[in-house]
Amino acid sequence: RITYVGKRGGCKSTPQATIEQLMLDAAHAGENVVRLKGGDPFIFGRGGEEVESLRRAGIEPVVVNGVTAGLAAMTSLGAPLTHRDRAHGVVFVTGHPQKDGPGLDWARLGESARDLHLTLVIYMGISSAARIQAGLLSALPPDTPVAVIERASLPSQRQCITTLGELVDQLSATGLGSPAVMVVGDVVRGVRAALQEAAALAA
């Protein structure tokens, strides 16, 4: 029996509590339950909440890792998230904080990325792109490279390679939307250079 409980930002979705209860009901009925998610369930996939719910009920789940969208997105472009010369670490962060939550201090995050040479991978940030751009621009230069990848690793994948200063305008021009990840940092610079070279050769 397959029960679809997928989520998509801005669309009608199955409440998280309902998903957890469906799993509990089936498990208590003696069924084997598979909760199949796209990507990695433990990186903004709410897998942690679901495991906690099951454990509270005395059920110990077995978790099989997936590949998180941020990694799949850059891999699809033939680019890394870390690089010995360009990025000494990577930060996975949500652009869609919990409702009524404090949100992220994008200016401070930008300062950390600049000072520590970090790649920023931003999930669910399309609807907050203007706020993210404004905050990061207080710490990072406008020419900081950015990749936006929609539906990473799927046949319908689309992407845009741009800069932090042009991010919002490019999102509007290309029509890229959710689900998408934004990757900010010098690791994107190699992708942009390769695309420009390919375009020059084609011309």
pLDDT in tens, 91-102: 999 998 767 667
Query: Is there a cis peptide before residue 179, judged by omega within 30 degrees of 0?
Result: yes
Residues 105 and 174 both lie in one domain: yes
pLDDT digits (tens, 9 = 90+) for 161-177: 999 999 999 999 999 99
Q: Per residue in 92-109, is it b (16+ CB within 10 Å) or e — as a string? A: bbebbeeeeeeebebeeb
Closest by Cα among 125, 129, 159, 164 to 144: 164
Token code pair at residue 10: 């801005």
Number of domains, the chain: 2
Q: What is the CATH number of the domain that holds 102?
A: 3.30.950.10
- Is 149:73 a contact under the CB 8 Å cutoff? yes
Residues 49 and 94 in one domain: no
Tell me the per-residue pLDDT of 111-154, one tens digit each, with 9 for 90 and over. 999 999 999 999 999 999 999 999 999 999 999 999 999 999 99
Same domain, 98 and 24: no
Q: Which structural domain range is residue 44 located in?
A: 16-56
Global pTM value: 0.87
Burial of 32 (0-12, 13-18, 19+ CB in 10 A): exposed
Residue position matching structure tokens 């870390």: 82
Both 126 and 172 in one domain: the answer is: yes
